[in-house]
Amino acid sequence: MKKVVKLNENDLRKIVKRVIFEMNNNFNQKMSSKDWEQVWFKLRRMSTSFAFPDFKNYFFSFGGLDFHYNEDDGSLILHPMFRDPYFWRDEYDKGAEVLEKYANKIGNFIDQSNLGLKFEMGPRFDMRIYKDENNNF
């Protein structure tokens, strides 16, 4: 069923302004690789577990975990090789324990950093660090 909606010039103007505002707001949320370099140096002051960033390949290491810059959304994503528990130990459960300890540790640092960042880990140990949409730093 089709519906006819009548818009006056003011309504149309409001819609266009809102769309432009939302586009700009989403654009500003995406972090560049240079932004991540600055953030990583701030995190490194908290712990030497945050290694110096690899500027050439955009890798950011924490302990033994290598995160890479995701151009699509401006986040840092754990390299797939490091998601496999067998990479860390011969037994799946022991490797999963290692990954969970890493996740807890890096998550605590991210929470304490007050840099407006979020950390999440999915069910298959896919870890992601990203800018909190509700927080500007």
The answer to whether residues 93 and 82 touch, using CB atoms and an 8 Å cutoff, is no
pLDDT of residue 27: 47
Which parts of 8-91 fold into alpha helices (H)? 9-29, 33-46, 85-88
Q: What is the pLDDT of residues 27-74, one digit of tens each?
A: 456 888 889 999 999 999 999 999 988 877 789 999 989 999 998 999
Query: Model confidence at 19, in pLDDT bands (50, 70, 90)?
Result: low
Per-residue pLDDT tens for 61-96?
999 899 999 989 999 999 999 999 999 999 999 999
